[in-house]
A and B are shown apart, each in its own frame.
Chain A
Amino acid sequence: MSTREAARRKPTNRRPRDILLRLLVAAALVIDAVVHFDLAPGYQLGAPGGIGQGNLFRIEAAAAILVGLYVLVRGSRPAYAAALVVAGSALIAVLLYRYVDIPAIGPIPSMYEPVWFFEKSLSAVAEGLGAVLAGVGYLRQRSSARQRRR
């Protein structure tokens, strides 16, 4: 087997470029989690209805940490898919509640906040980048799996 062939057959998630990708996705999720943990106490007091906005922030942050670790440790298709779901759903939520005045829905309080500020913008960018990079990782893992099957 040639060196090139051996490199091609090496699992995708162990190549340097893929390790970098895993680190970037995890970093984006950590930024997202830190911002949400930081803002949670105040937002819980501001919107305590239902489960409370601060508690929703804490749940989102905990999910981001867990999935970030999953991506770091495994770098597999399911890990990237989970990262895509967590980062993507957080980005959709922040954009939705920035521009649409959605009333309280069941345990979810009204969280309309028609402003941007540094921390919020930072987490939104991290969520967007995290989702995009997780999508790239997912596609790379899928194409690598197809190549190995051939």
Chain B
Amino acid sequence: MRNNPKAMMAIVGAAALIALSGCGVSGNGYQGGSSSQPTAASSTAPPSGTSQSLTITIKDFGYQGPVSVSPGAKITVKNEDTQAHTVTSDDGKAFDAAVDGGGGTAQFTAPTTPGSYPYHCAYHSNMHGTLVVK
């Protein structure tokens, strides 16, 4: 290998690839780890049923939409990606909405207990979001 210029070029290429890989861990769909249990913000806050309508838009493997909603709010999920996604609470109980790709929509009801509800896509484990009910 010492006298082989092609092999040396290949090794330099590998080193460049390693250096470039540091730029790869990012993306608007990944927000790091999150708790798997919803955190109650106030256990004494009474649920207040509401007809408030909100939309979570899924685009480029990321969630865009309301950070906080009222208890019991009707939430619409719109998927602008070509692939199907879900909005699934990390605890697996609070809410779970699957939505087809290519403009598909789905709806779910926000929990009635105030708190912070981390959620994810059941199909793409790098997609995370948090819904705050207050």
Contacts and interface: CB of A to CB of B under 8 A. Distances in A.
A118 B25 contact: yes
A46 interface: yes
Given A115-B29, A139-B7, A46 B124 contact: yes
B1 A140 contact: yes
A135 B10 contact: yes
Interface string B91-124: 0000000000100000000000000000001111
A132 B17 contact: yes
Contact residues of B: prevailing secondary structure: loop
A82 B14 CA distance: 18
B27 A117 contact: yes
Nearest to A121: B24
A116 B125 contact: no
B14 A115 contact: no
Contact residues of A: prevailing secondary structure: helix
Contacts of B48: none
Interface stretch (B35-43, B64-72, B81-89): B81-89
B62 interface: yes
A135 B44 CA distance: 65
Interface in A100-150: 101, 103, 110-121, 124-125, 128-129, 132-133, 135-136, 139-140, 143
A101 B83 CA distance: 12
Contact of A115 (B1, B27, B84): B27
Interface string A30-47: 000000000100110111
A115 B25 contact: no
Nearest to A101: B82
Contacts of B6: 139
Nearest to A48: B84
A24 to B, nearest CB: 10
A17 interface: yes
A143 to B, nearest CB: 6
Contacts of B25: 116-118, 121
B11 A136 contact: yes
Given A46-B121, A133-B10, A139-B6, 11 more contacts: A42-B121, A42-B122, A47-B101, A114-B27, A116-B24, A116-B26, A116-B27, A117-B30, A121-B25, A135-B10, A143-B4
Interface of B: 1, 4, 6-7, 10-11, 13-14, 17-18, 21, 24-30, 60-62, 81-85, 101, 121-126
15 contacts: A42-B121, A46-B121, A110-B82, A112-B81, A114-B60, A115-B28, A115-B30, A115-B60, A116-B27, A118-B25, A119-B125, A121-B21, A129-B14, A139-B4, A140-B4
